[in-house]
Amino acid sequence: MNEDKQAICDALTFALQLTREHHDLVELVYQKRVNDQYYDEMVTAVWGGEARAQKTITVTADSGIAMIRDILMHI
């Protein structure tokens, strides 16, 4: 089964917006870059509010649940 990683990010964004800590999370953006010899996968977390911060998390070769764990560990 292929997982729709952007859909997972969208659902996780909604869940995190319901929390006090990440109520100002704007989006989690999944990106996959493919080269002839390799690929990498990244998720960029973007917050609004006063901080207007963003953070990029490497999720290369992660399953959907592993991607969620990596995102939660790094934000």
Residue 37 pLDDT: 86
Portion of the chain with pLDDT greater than 70, in percent: 100
Structure confidence at residue 35 as a pLDDT band (50, 70, 90) = confident
Kindly report the backbone phi and psi dihedral angles of residue 41, in degrees, each rounded to the nearest multiple of 5, phi listed first.
-125, 135
d(CA 41, CA 32): 4
Compute the average pLDDT of residues 6-14. 98
Q: What is the CA radius of gyration of the chain?
A: 13
Q: How far is residue 16 CA from its own chain's centroid? A: 11
